[in-house]
Amino acid sequence: MSRILIVEDEADIASVLQDYLRHAGHETEHVADGRTALARMLEAPPDLSLLDIMLPGLDGLSVLRQARVHTHHPIIMLTARIEEVDRLLGLELGADDYVCKPFSPREVVARVRAVLRRAEGLAAAAGKAEGPVVLDEAHWRATLGGVPLNLTRREFRLLQAMSRHPGRIFSRARLLELAYDDDADVSERAVDSHIKNLRRKLSAADPSHDWIRSVYGVGFAFETPLD
Ligand code: CA
């Protein structure tokens, strides 16, 4: 059983989420404004927070930004505007995932389960020496499961950023900044071609898993096998 903090000022949405999450076996707490949410996250971080963006007092993005200084518990953002997603992920504010409103409560429960499983996987992996990807930053060399990947520097930079935060979705704009810190005037399409090559090299080294997930219209995430 996990403890989920629901931060949502619309009472009916909060109550539906509470019902579904409790039914799925979670313990829930509901707060309706940003300041109370931040205080709760800092004094007793839950196992996961569902955080609405439009909130009275302190908005959800400010809560996220301030919470991230002190706590690394998983946070899923609730947003009514798809245009916010790019900003959310592009700014690297540290959200673990997002759900767009209007959503089905089932979708939220599924997303909560996936993010919790990933967090447990990361906690378990932290106890081990290394993940499947090993990066030698001094020599721009990367291996997957011990197999050399022969990456270009741009591919190396992308893999470095993405593999540090498995499951986190990186927008094309953010990946472009990571790959081209020299301000080259390139289109976001260039990212697709680097990702395509990176994906090909990763799957050549270990074809048993799909290492890079495409999120339609948003960007890409590096995924480690769950078990
Ligand atoms: Ca709201």
Based on the fold, state whether residues 10 and 68 are members of the same structural domain: yes
Q: Please give the distance, rounded to the nearest whole angstrom, from the Cα atom of residue 31 to the centre of ligand 1.
A: 12
pLDDT score, position 129: 45
Exposed e or buried b for every residue in 64-86, given b needs 16+ CB within 10 A?
beebbeebebbbbbbbeeeebbb
Q: Please give the distance, rounded to the nearest whole angstrom, from the Cα atom of residue 55 to the centre of ligand 1.
A: 5
Question: Is 121 inside any structural domain?
Answer: yes
Percent of the chain with pLDDT over 90: 48
Q: What is the pLDDT of residues 36-66, one digit of tens each?
A: 999 999 888 899 999 999 999 899 989 998 8
Question: Using the 8-state DSSP alphabet, how is residue 24 labeled?
Answer: T
pLDDT score, position 227: 44
pLDDT score, position 121: 73
Q: Is 203 exposed, middle or buried (0-12, 13-18, 19+ CB in 10 A)?
A: middle
- 209 versus 31: the higher-pLDDT residue is 31
Among 125, 160, 194, identify where a domain stops. Answer: 125
Q: Average pLDDT of the chain?
A: 86
CB-proximal residues (5 Å) to ion ligand 1 = 9, 52, 54
Confidence of residue 68 (pLDDT cuts 50, 70, 90): confident
For residues 3-29, average pLDDT:
96
Domain residue limits at 189: 129-222
- Rounded to an integer, what distance in angstroms lies between the CA atom of residue 131 and that of residue 162? 13
- Written as six digits, the tokens of 46 are 């839950």
Question: Is 15 inside any structural domain?
Answer: yes
Q: What is the pLDDT of residues 93-142, one digit of tens each?
A: 678 888 888 899 999 999 999 999 888 776 666 544 457 888 887 778 89
Q: Please give the distance, rounded to the nearest whole angstrom, from the Cα atom of residue 166 to the centre of ligand 1.
A: 28
Report field, pTM of the whole predicted structure over 0.95 = no
Residue 135 C-alpha from the chain's centroid: 21
Q: Please give the distance, rounded to the nearest whole angstrom, from the Cα atom of residue 7 to the centre of ligand 1.
A: 9
Q: Please give the distance, rounded to the nearest whole angstrom, from the Cα atom of residue 140 to the centre of ligand 1.
A: 45
- Rounded to an integer, what distance in angstroms lies between the CA atom of residue 117 and that of residue 131? 16
Based on the fold, state whether residues 87 and 133 are members of the same structural domain: no
- Rounded to an integer, what distance in angstroms lies between the CA atom of residue 212 and that of residue 200? 10
Distance linking the first and last C-alpha atoms of the chain: 20
